Amino acid sequence: MSGGKRMRKGAAAKPATTRRAARKPASKPAEPAMDLAVGRRIRDLRRSKEMSLEVVAARTDLSIGFISQIERGLSSPSLRVLATLADVLGVGIAALFGATPKDDGAGGVVTREVQRAELKLWRTGISKQLLSPAGSESRLNLFLVHLEPGGNTGDEFYTHDGEEAGLVLQGEMTLTVDTETWTLKEGDSFRFASRRPHRFSNPTRDAKAVVLWVNCVTAAG
């Protein structure tokens, strides 16, 4: 009888081990970690400029609480919000990527594919890979923008310092500047002053869009 009891205990323990193994692969998504890194970068830039949350809030029309949540990685900001914050901080959006990995002697001139910093706006279906060396002093920056199906900057227009241009490499993009809207396909390009209200999106539901995008800001540091 005692041997039978040991067998029953062993049989009962086995499913519990299986259940633990099934739960083990589950892990926290990477996106919150991205939000935390971007938030810390914004906080560090704000402090380096000796600007209070109140000042930034007043200049961006964003609430103090919302900016604080972004800095703590508790909120995932849109591209519009990030561009607005970068503008007030006197930097290009590339400065929010933080530092790239150590270069291989390229002297800040060449960026290898494996060194690309990425800003993933996971809630809006947009990600930006920085093709040029990261840094808050850079005025001219080159990006590879990926728009997931339906990815967009939101219904609200936004503006920021500088000028931008781009070339659609893959898929389709809808671009609105002021009151005009264009559908751009592979091979189409654009340029406009970033102070003009704008927004963009991928109108398709089954294909990604990839855009080579250039941003040039007039304010630095």
Is 22 among the domain residues?
no
Is 15 among the domain residues?
no
Is 152 among the domain residues?
yes
Other C-beta atoms closer than 10 Å to the C-beta of 130 total 24
Is 159 among the domain residues?
yes
Is 205 among the domain residues?
yes
pLDDT of residue 33: 81
| CATH number for the domain harbouring residue 63 | 2.60.120.10
Question: Does residue 51 come out as left (phi exceeding 0), alpha (psi in the -120 to 50 range) or beta?
Answer: beta
Total domain count for the chain?
1
Q: How far is CA 211 from the centre of its chain?
A: 15
**Whole-prediction pTM:** 0.78
Is 174 among the domain residues?
yes
pLDDT by residue for the chain (221 residues), tens digit each? 444 444 444 444 444 444 444 454 444 455 678 889 899 999 999 999 999 999 999 999 999 999 999 999 998 888 999 999 999 998 888 888 865 555 555 567 888 898 888 888 888 999 999 998 866 567 889 999 999 999 999 999 999 999 999 999 999 999 999 999 999 999 999 999 999 999 999 999 999 999 999 999 885 54
Domain coverage including residue 130:
31-99+110-216
Is 20 among the domain residues?
no
Residue 63: its H or E element: none
Is 48 among the domain residues?
yes
Q: Which of 122, 151, 160, 164 is nearest to 210 (CA)?
A: 151
Name 201's bridge partners.
Answer: 152, 174
pLDDT of residue 105: 54
